[in-house]
Chains A and B, each alone.
Chain A
Amino acid sequence: MDWIAFALSLQLAGWTVAVLLPLGLAVARILAWHPFAGRRWVEAALALPLVLPPTVLGFYLLVAFGGNSPLGRIFESLTGHTLTFSFAGLLLASVIFNLPFAIQPMQRAFEAIPVDVRAAAACCGMAPWRIFTRIEFPLAWPGILSAMVLTFVHTLGEFGVVLMVGGSIPGETKTIAIAIYDRVQAFDNAGAASMAAVLLVLSFIAIAAAYGTARPRDIHVG
């Protein structure tokens, strides 16, 4: 059992959820309630990680993060090390490939809130922030919770993108999914089996817990 890889995976999943919660809420609310020209293109782009092979997504992210890209250069001049093959780069990639898992359930949840309920809150004199915390957030909570759980377990399980962007640096980018692959390559089936079992049980419990809280229609993987 590679505990360093396991801890790194948990850390990556936790940070991904932490970044995607506010980002996802903001984007999901806009997509749910503010029709704008070209919305379907934005929605399609956000759904791409669901259908693209992880290697394709990983390849583009690698190019976009690399030392020759503007993003890679800015990061390197600010921090002194490269964006690729670093935890920061891995987190950014993780946030991107988890966008549909976070946004879609939240968007469905916000869409399910009747327009008149929000209008009624405004007519009650509630300020926009109070409407969000007292009305919108509680009503969308099942969807928000499933978004967070899906993002978390999906980060634990992602393999292709992580390998492309992060490589396999112990303690920095070697997640549990990579570690399992390493063990199999080294003909250590027993090591792979124990880690795979941990991942399986953890994911199963998390999803079951989310299904128990959320109404089924709010869970929408894509």
Chain B
Amino acid sequence: MAEAATELLPAATGLLPAATGLRVRLTQRAPIPLDAALDCAPGETHALVGPSGSGKTTILRCIAGLHGAAEGRIECGGAAWYDTAARIDLTPQARSAGLVFQHYALFPHLSAQANVEAALGHLPARDRAARATEMLARVHLTGLEARKPAQLSGGQQQRVAVARALARDPQVLLLDEPFSAVDRVTRQKLYRELSELRRTLALPIVLVTHDLDEAAMLSDRMTILHRGRTLQTGTPREVMTRPADPLVARLVDMKNVFEARVATTAAGTAGVAWNGTVLEVAGEPSFAAGTRVCWGIPVAGVLLHRRDRPSRGEHENPVDGSVAECLEIGEDMHMGMRVDGAAALLWLKVPTHVAQRNRIAVGEAIRVSLLADAIHLMPWRDLAREVSA
């Protein structure tokens, strides 16, 4: 669904002039190193994903005007908000950014209604109450207007924070880990609400999260951030199945990454030598024969052969090995397969009932296929070093 939405958005293809949306370029050395580039078109939800300490919140605070990076430029709706070269640094008040803080930062002494009204300073005083009531209705809080934040549940507090952030009619909506402070059940509900809400909003939305699934579910595009550096931007599917390099692969939790060498190249296909065989890789080759590369494959690209009957893809890169680890997560069985002759584990998953029918257990010999169009080649990096970095 996220992918389909992206295709409709001209921004994702770079056809829309960046001036109408949000455009961020930031660099600084201290206190937190930053080297970030981020573009977000109106109507687009852009997830900024990275481990804690990677600088996500700092970038968001820079956009809102709460933190000034050493160098850079931030523009929104065609206007410069921050530009070190031109000595522009608008105050948060002048920027028109709606920010939902990680712990919401509601005004504890004011009612939900007054919290929203606090952000309506641009309206005549007599219109504020009606507008605040309307904003609260939009986030399903009708009837709770008089409650103080302490009298609201976590999910309700988040909704007040969203209503308050939108009350200013901002030119960009910034969400800082907005789901981290609520329980799982509430979170699922808030996900649905945000999905509905963002369809009605024609402004750029930047969502900061460390949760890949959350990012994939809610965003049109995502940017991977590591130690203040934006490493890769693309649709969630693109980034998660075609990471730019092994570091991104690790950050998006791609479990199957191995080292190999390109053996053959031809139109629309390549062969990589790995573990004594040559794997077929679909797609235009981006590396010359002889190049040392890393290759990765999502767990969904590894197919288990049925024991009783050969299945589809049987001839596609067959690999033999034995089950080294079994891990039941939800309704799936995740398996670490020790490939014959290789040191590292190859991970795959099958529905638990399939695993049971095939009598999968640790030590059992299995055969899998690596789908040629799921195999993704990346520039070589020393994997042992990358992991420890």
Contact = CB atoms under 8 A, between A and B. Distances in A.
B118 interface: yes
Interface string B61-81: 100111000000000000000
Nearest to B99: A123
Secondary structure class of chain A's binding surface, majority of residues: helix
Given A123-B66, A125-B119, A117 B98 contact: no
A119 B93 CA distance: 10
A38 interface: no
B66 A124 contact: no
Interface in B163-206: 164-165, 167-168
B164 A116 contact: no
Of A116, A124, A126, A135, chain B has the most CB atoms within 10 Å of the CB of: A124
B105 A124 contact: no
Interface residues of A, number: 17
Contact of B101 (A120, A126, A138): A120
A123 B92 contact: yes
A127 B93 contact: yes
Contacts of B107: 117, 120-121, 135, 139
Contact-residue size bin, chain B (C-beta under 8 Å from the other chain): 20 to 34
A33 to B, nearest CB: 14
B118 A126 contact: yes
A123 B60 CA distance: 12
Interface in B85-126: 91-93, 96-99, 101-103, 105-109, 118-119, 121-122
Interface string A114-149: 101101111111110010001100110000000000
A138 B105 contact: no
A120 B64 CA distance: 10
Given A116-B101, A130-B121, A134-B118, A122 B92 contact: yes
Nearest to B98: A123
A193 B305 CA distance: 101
Nearest to A113: B108
Of A114, A125, A139, chain B has the most CB atoms within 10 Å of the CB of: A125
Nearest to B109: A138
B222 to A, nearest CB: 24
20 contacts: A114-B105, A116-B102, A117-B107, A119-B66, A119-B92, A120-B99, A120-B101, A120-B107, A120-B164, A121-B118, A122-B66, A122-B91, A124-B164, A124-B167, A125-B121, A126-B119, A127-B93, A135-B107, A138-B109, A139-B109
A-B interface, 8 closest residue pairs, ranked by CB to CB distance from nearest: A116-B105, A124-B119, A120-B105, A122-B92, A123-B99, A116-B101, A117-B105, A125-B93
Given A120-B105, A120-B106, A134-B118, 12 more contacts: A116-B101, A117-B108, A119-B92, A121-B118, A122-B92, A124-B118, A124-B167, A124-B168, A125-B119, A125-B168, A127-B121, A139-B107
Interface of A: 114, 116-117, 119-127, 130, 134-135, 138-139
